[in-house]
């Protein structure tokens, strides 16, 4: 037997797997030795567009909106924001003219504790920090143009009316939009509920191009890009991270040019290929903060699809300390427990899109390939009776015997597939782009 370390909460759990197990992890990537210096250099020498100091000096008393991600993304804002905000102030922008707007999309508002964790207590005390609310029409402004597929979009008024619009974030693999970061800070980050619903609706998600690592032909990428271009992004600051959550690359400047440069970097450092499909794939929710709810852990399950064989088994391991997810998502999961076909038929025939239904739709991709019996969840934060209603097979996990109980679940799955079964492990779950080397997935920037 050999040991594999699975991302779990703020650390890793050791799991014993058969010798010869394929561990799908990218090559180690070093963090930047002086990330603050690299950020300052990127602001002054951007990839396309004008340097941020030039944009700041041209404001002449105008306002700035800095868009940031919420707690579900491990963006190192304690490193990024002091440099960014310091650059603005050093070039004549008064602090009271700067707003930090959290792009929540449809996620809940941030808490004081989360803001302190993300930004630091001192920064929180010194700057105006607000949350986007997609359900508040009074906070929205309808854009003058529709997207290329005809969507009428409204965007947060505080962003639209700012004189200098700055988007920040993290570029990493994303199971719907191809990659996170760039344009996604605006859509779905700052748009109205109807736009978010369309963005996550079956009209987009049933496209095979709405997938990890795919931009060409991806309807989610196209819609998001359209919105960002209509409303405008004056300056983009994106980073890439290594698996230790250290900044590995800084990409600033033009919305498209800087984003695509970051995508190219992710392409080189986030791939891991298997030689053949596996009978069993053991994956994670990606560690904290992503694996605090089952809603986010679905991303790890979907990320395992390129390497699991038809009828194989995906074992997802995550703490899920905050449970299943939103109340709406929980209700959807329970209503359609063990009825994925009914769910798909209903959403395709519906005129509206329910909040969070898209995560069950993505889970249905897994169910189509491995079935309910092939989807096993080890999540100590979800009561077993609730997990049993998530259209999968829940494994009992005891907090006192966490490692032993998860190991027992893994052993049972491997034993069920029989001696000599092929096993793969994706320790970092959705942060790794996987596939079988003989038939790599096409990606188009």
- pLDDT tens for the chain, 445 residues: list them: 999 999 999 999 999 999 999 999 988 889 999 999 999 999 999 999 999 999 999 999 899 999 999 988 889 999 999 999 999 999 999 999 999 999 999 888 999 999 999 999 999 999 999 999 999 999 999 999 999 999 999 999 999 999 999 999 999 999 999 999 999 999 999 999 989 988 988 989 999 999 999 999 999 999 999 999 999 999 999 999 998 889 999 999 999 999 999 999 999 889 999 999 999 999 999 999 889 999 999 999 999 999 999 999 999 999 999 999 999 999 999 999 999 999 999 999 888 888 889 999 999 999 999 999 999 999 999 999 999 999 999 999 987 899 999 999 999 999 999 988 999 999 999 999 999 986 444 333 3
Cα 73 to Cα 150: distance, rounded to the nearest angstrom? 30
Read off the DSSP letter of residue 231: H
Please give the CATH superfamily to which domain 2-26+271-436 belongs: LarA, C-terminal domain (3.90.226.30)
The answer to whether residues 374 and 396 touch, using CB atoms and an 8 Å cutoff, is no
Integer Rg of the chain from CA: 22
Handedness of CA 378, 384, 387, 388 (dihedral sign): positive
- Residues in CB range of 344: below 8 A, 6 or more apart: 202, 361, 364
pTM confidence score = 0.87
Q: Topology of 35-269 in CATH?
A: Rossmann fold (3.40.50)
The answer to whether residues 110 and 189 touch, using CB atoms and an 8 Å cutoff, is no
Which residues sit opposite 201 in a β-bridge?
none
Per domain, the residue ranges of the chain are 2-26+271-436, 35-269
Catalytic residues: 107, 174
């Amino acid at each position: 037997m050999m040991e594999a370390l699975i991302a779990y909460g703020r650390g890793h759990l050791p799991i014993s797997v058969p010798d010869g197990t394929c561990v799908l992890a990218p090559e180690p990537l070093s963090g930047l030795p002086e990330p603050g210096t690299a950020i300052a250099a990127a602001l002054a020498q951007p990839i396309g567009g004008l340097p941020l100091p030039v944009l700041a000096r041209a404001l002449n008393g105008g306002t700035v909106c800095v868009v940031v991600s919420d707690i579900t993304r491990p963006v190192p804002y304690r490193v990024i924001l002091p440099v960014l905000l310091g650059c603005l102030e050093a070039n004549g922008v008064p602090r009271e003219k700067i707003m930090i707007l959290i792009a929540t999309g449809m996620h809940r508002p941030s808490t004081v504790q989360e803001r302190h964790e993300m930004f630091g207590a001192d920064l929180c005390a010194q700057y105006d920090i607000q949350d986007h609310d997609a359900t508040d029409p009074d906070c929205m402004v309808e854009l003058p143009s529709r997207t290329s597929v005809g969507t009428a979009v409204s965007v947060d008024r505080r962003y639209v009316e700012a004189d200098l619009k700055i988007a920040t974030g993290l570029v990493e693999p994303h199971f719907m939009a191809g990659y996170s970061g760039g344009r996604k800070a605006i859509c779905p980050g700052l748009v109205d509920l109807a736009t978010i619903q369309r963005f996550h609706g079956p009209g987009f998600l049933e496209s095979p191009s709405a997938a990890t690592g795919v931009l060409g032909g991806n309807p989610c990428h196209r819609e998001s890009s359209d919105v960002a271009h209509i409303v405008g992004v004056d300056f983009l600051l994106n980073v890439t991270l290594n698996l230790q959550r250290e900044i590995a690359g800084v990409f600033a400047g033009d919305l498209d040019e800087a984003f695509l440069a970051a995508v190219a970097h992710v392409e080189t450092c986030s791939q891991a290929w298997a030689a053949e499909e596996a009978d069993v794939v053991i994956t994670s929710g990606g560690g904290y903060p992503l694996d605090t709810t089952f809603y986010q852990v679905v991303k790890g399950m979907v990320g395992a699809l390129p390497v699991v064989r038809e009828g194989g088994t995906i074992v997802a391991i995550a703490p899920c300390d905050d449970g299943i997810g939103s109340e709406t998502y929980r209700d959807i999961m329970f209503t359609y427990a063990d009825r994925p076909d009914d769910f798909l038929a209903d959403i395709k025939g519906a005129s509206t899109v329910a909040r969070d239904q898209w995560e069950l739709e993505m889970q249905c991709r897994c169910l189509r390939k491995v079935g309910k019996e092939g989807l096993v969840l080890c999540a100590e934060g979800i009561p077993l009776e609730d997990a049993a209603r998530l259209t999968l097979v829940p494994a009992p996990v005891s907090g006192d015997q966490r490692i032993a109980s998860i190991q027992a679940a893994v052993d049972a799955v491997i034993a069920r597939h029989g001696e000599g079964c092929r096993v793969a492990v994706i320790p970092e779950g959705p942060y790794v782009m996987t596939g079988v080397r003989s038939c790599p997935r096409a990606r188009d920037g």
